[in-house]
A and B are shown apart, each in its own frame.
Chain A
Amino acid sequence: MDFFVQIIVSGLTFGSMYALAAVGLALVWGAFNMLNMSHGIIMTLGAYFALLWAELLGWPLILAAPFSLVCGGLVGAIVYFLSAHWMIKQKNFEVTIIIATFGLGMAIESGLLKFLREMFRTAPYSQPLSLGAKSFLIFDVPVSYQRLVIWTAAFVLITIVGIFLRRTSVGRAIRATAQDRNAARLMGVPVRRVYVLVLAIASGLAAVSGIMLSSFKDVHPLMGGDPMLKAFIVIVLAGLGNITGALYAALLVGLVEASVKVLLADKYGFTAILILVILALIWKPSGIFGRATVARQ
């Protein structure tokens, strides 16, 4: 029973962090077929924004997360105007944008490393938003309040995004663009603005996901790379562009990772989900929640 609770608790925690990162990725892919390889560095930046707000500027903790969300959104918009904006008409946009954002992410990451080395000397920081080890028990398994906060935050944010997409006119414009870019444009949807907005939303979510992540590990310039890969795995598993699918797949990946970590060993966690996605892709090339048509071109 203890094992079981432990797996569920830690699986849900990882799952909700991946979900926040993956929903954004899925949203962006859905809107204009862009895979943002700088997503990971935006997660890292999110954690740093919170750190900057709370630690260096000493402003109230409770507002650090919204600050980081907004800053993350801004970074997303900047990424758009540095790369996708100029490239969207290219013939191989799907491929070239990956390489371009890969380069951009690398540049930001190395710049951040360099900058921090000069500014702070010591690179790893602990996240001020972390609630520490305070916990309560479920079946003799200690569950920290931190996890409760993470679950709630992820749930609330994803619900807000869901309502935004379903109920508002801007959300409708985003969904229309995702369905058919040209038809949306003909109906008067300003698609370029939709792209910026979508990338900003996704990056804001990524920034918050980064804060959550940093409450378990130290804040470090390289911390976003690994979770970004996992978020990619999640959206590939779900079928690219499938937002609801990404949510379920994120939880699935979190649970699988947690069970392997609990039952086998820590180091096999990532390997296990990689094997999971490889097998799933061979079995269903367009993702487990993807449409039946065989793989997109």
Chain B
Amino acid sequence: MKRRDYIIFAVLLGLAIAYPWINPPRYLLASVLLMFCYATVVSQWNLVFGLAGIFSLGQVAIFASGSYITAILGRYLEWSLWYTFPVAGVGGVFFSLLIGLACLRLRGIYVALLTLAVSQMMFILIQTDAMCSALNKKVNPATCVSFTGGAQGLGDFGSFGWRDVFGGRNWIIGDYYTMLVLLVIALIFTFIVTNSRIGLAFMALRDNEELARSRGISQFKYQLLVFAMSAFLTAVAGSFYAAHFGSVGTDLMGFALLLFLISMLVVGGIGRPWGPLLGAFLLMAADEVFKEASDWRNVGLGIVVLIFMVFLPEGLAGALDKLWNRGIQLVTGRLQSGGTRADGE
């Protein structure tokens, strides 16, 4: 991070805070809000994938686990959702630790396949869960669904509660700022982690595992640490998602969302500090564009991902960084040593 980055951060934050005051259409506000949510998840994924170099696809499963924990606690125990958020976060951390433990001896591609298997298993277990649960009878005796809601999903578990505070029409602004706060926390968190000794350890293990280990960096400790650290806010983002939409379903674990989120990571730039934000913005924008032709949405997204992987494997943030460096070179007339990639290379 340089002064440039602080300025960008301040400007973006100002824009985000001001945005609801220009009276944007409601659906746009909802899209931006959703973008904050996804950007939070992707920024945490970036810690695992970009910073620590572990190709885990389990982030979506953790996101889903967070929203399911919130939905279940809110529905069956009738908790206020605000109490469920920390519980969901901690639950996500435990879940992620389990995944991290299972992946401990695996490298590269094997991690991706194992984590994909875990999230797929979660999907199938919930999707095929059709046993009528006694708990659900209490909530709604007429339509009995299973404990996890099965293929139908779960609803009726409450919301952030901004409707009572801001009145009937403006509750979405409450949701918007809540999500923004989460995103800001996530960005600050990733910034702190990236620039701490822990972040250095992640990068050392990523770049040269043998050397890092021979210098006394415990792979066991740091791999579990990165899985745990990245899970908390991911799971909380999941529960915020549930609280905003008022329902959860198995599409949270489906391929479509996985592809969408990984596209954000890739298009933005893996391992780049601004990557997740850029990627989330671009893909949500692309999504808006393709929404006009709803059937072509996934075709378009798939092709965008393919093109980025073929031509810009370092993502947009990587390309912009190169441009920036070249610009500086032109202005100052001297060669900058190295890149401005904040996580080093």
Chain A residues with a Cβ under 8 A of chain B: 35, 82-83, 86-87, 90-92, 94-100, 102-111, 113-114, 117, 225, 229, 232-233, 236, 240, 267, 270-271, 274-275, 277-278, 281-282, 285-286, 294-297
Once the chains bind, are B114 and A103 in contact (CB under 8 Å)?
no
Write the nearest CB–CB distance from B282 to chain A, whole angstroms. Answer: 14
Partner of B125, one of A94, A271, A281: A271
Q: Which 4 A-B pairs have the closest CB atoms?
A: A107-B302, A103-B305, A110-B298, A100-B309
Q: A86-B310, A103-B303, A110-B299 are in contact. Are A240 and B114 (CB under 8 A)?
A: no
The reply on B128 being an interface residue by CB < 8 A is: yes
The reply on B242 being an interface residue by CB < 8 A is: no
Partner of A281, one of B106, B116, B262, B310: B106
Once the chains bind, are B298 and A232 in contact (CB under 8 Å)?
no
The reply on B117 being an interface residue by CB < 8 A is: yes
Once the chains bind, are B302 and A104 in contact (CB under 8 Å)?
yes
Task: Report the Cα distance A104→B309, complex, angstroms.
Answer: 11
Q: A99-B262, A100-B305, A110-B297 are in contact. Are A296 and B120 (CB under 8 A)?
A: no
Partner of A285, one of B105, B298, B313: B105
Q: Which of A106, A114, A281 has the most CB of B within 10 A?
A: A106
**Dominant SS at the A interface?**
helix
Q: Mark B210-244, 1 if CB is under 8 A from A, else 0.
A: 00000000000000000000000000000000000
Once the chains bind, are B106 and A107 in contact (CB under 8 Å)?
no
Q: A106-B259, A278-B118 are in contact. Are A267 and B306 (CB under 8 A)?
A: no
Q: A83-B310, A87-B310, A229-B116 are in contact. Are A103 and B106 (CB under 8 A)?
A: no
Once the chains bind, are B259 and A103 in contact (CB under 8 Å)?
yes
**Dominant SS at the B interface?**
helix
Residues of B within 8 Å of A117, CB to CB, are 295
Once the chains bind, are B116 and A285 in contact (CB under 8 Å)?
no
The reply on B82 being an interface residue by CB < 8 A is: no
Residues of A within 8 Å of B262, CB to CB, are 99, 102
Q: Which of B55, B118, B295, B306 has the most CB of A within 10 A?
A: B306
Task: Report the Cα distance A110→B112, complex, angstroms.
Answer: 23
Task: Report the Cα distance A113→B296, complex, angstroms.
Answer: 10
7 contacts between A and B (CB under 8 A): A35-B113, A95-B109, A97-B309, A98-B112, A102-B262, A104-B306, A270-B120
Residues of B within 8 Å of A240, CB to CB, are 109-110
Write the nearest CB–CB distance from A178 to chain B, whole angstroms. Answer: 16
The reply on B301 being an interface residue by CB < 8 A is: yes
Residues of A within 8 Å of B118, CB to CB, are 274, 278
Q: Can you name the residue of chain B whose Cβ is closest to the Cβ of A85?
A: B310
Residues of B within 8 Å of A109, CB to CB, are 298
The reply on B263 being an interface residue by CB < 8 A is: yes
Partner of B309, one of A96, A105, A229, A285: A96
Q: Which of B80-138 contact A (CB under 8 A)?
A: 102, 105-110, 112-114, 116-118, 120-121, 124-125, 128
Write the nearest CB–CB distance from A123 to chain B, whole angstroms. Answer: 13
Residues of A within 8 Å of B266, CB to CB, are 96, 99
Once the chains bind, are B117 and A233 in contact (CB under 8 Å)?
yes
Q: Can you name the residue of chain A whose Cβ is closest to the Cβ of B255?
A: A225
Once the chains bind, are B305 and A229 in contact (CB under 8 Å)?
no
Task: Report the Cα distance A270→B263, complex, angstroms.
Answer: 27
Once the chains bind, are B309 and A278 in contact (CB under 8 Å)?
no
Residues of B within 8 Å of A271, CB to CB, are 121, 124-125
The count of residues in chain B whose C-beta lies closer than 8 Å to any C-beta of chain A is 41
Once the chains bind, are A270 and B106 in contact (CB under 8 Å)?
no
Task: Report the Cα distance A117→B296, complex, angstroms.
Answer: 12
Partner of A94, one of B105, B108, B209, B306: B108
Q: Can you name the residue of chain A whose Cβ is closest to the Cβ of B305?
A: A103
Partner of A107, one of B110, B295, B298: B298
The reply on B342 being an interface residue by CB < 8 A is: no
Residues of A within 8 Å of B198, CB to CB, are none
Once the chains bind, are B255 and A107 in contact (CB under 8 Å)?
no
Partner of A99, one of B108, B125, B300, B305: B305
Write the nearest CB–CB distance from B48 to chain A, whole angstroms. Answer: 13
Write the nearest CB–CB distance from A80 to chain B, whole angstroms. Answer: 12
Once the chains bind, are A281 and B114 in contact (CB under 8 Å)?
yes
Once the chains bind, are B102 and A114 in contact (CB under 8 Å)?
no
Task: Report the Cα distance A278→B99, complex, angstroms.
Answer: 10
Partner of A106, one of B55, B108, B302: B302
Once the chains bind, are A267 and B302 in contact (CB under 8 Å)?
no
Q: A285-B110, A294-B105, A295-B106 are in contact. Are A274 and B117 (CB under 8 A)?
A: yes
Once the chains bind, are A297 and B108 in contact (CB under 8 Å)?
yes
Partner of A282, one of B105, B309, B311: B105
Once the chains bind, are A297 and B297 in contact (CB under 8 Å)?
no
Once the chains bind, are B295 and A110 in contact (CB under 8 Å)?
yes
Residues of A within 8 Å of B311, CB to CB, are 86
Write the nearest CB–CB distance from B342 to chain A, whole angstroms. Answer: 19
Q: A35-B109, A92-B313 are in contact. Are A102 and B259 (CB under 8 A)?
A: yes
Task: Report the Cα distance A252→B187, complex, angstroms.
Answer: 46
Q: Which of B15-47 contact A (CB under 8 A)?
A: none
The reply on B304 being an interface residue by CB < 8 A is: yes
Once the chains bind, are B299 and A99 in contact (CB under 8 Å)?
no
Residues of B within 8 Å of A113, CB to CB, are 295
Once the chains bind, are B309 and A99 in contact (CB under 8 Å)?
yes
Residues of B within 8 Å of A100, CB to CB, are 305-306, 309-310
Q: Can you name the residue of chain B whose Cβ is closest to the Cβ of A92?
A: B313
Q: Can you name the residue of chain A whose Cβ is closest to the Cβ of B263?
A: A103
Task: Report the Cα distance A31→B116, complex, angstroms.
Answer: 23
Write the nearest CB–CB distance from B307 to chain A, whole angstroms. Answer: 8
Q: A117-B295, A281-B114, A285-B105 are in contact. Are A102 and B313 (CB under 8 A)?
A: no
Task: Report the Cα distance A114→B116, complex, angstroms.
Answer: 26
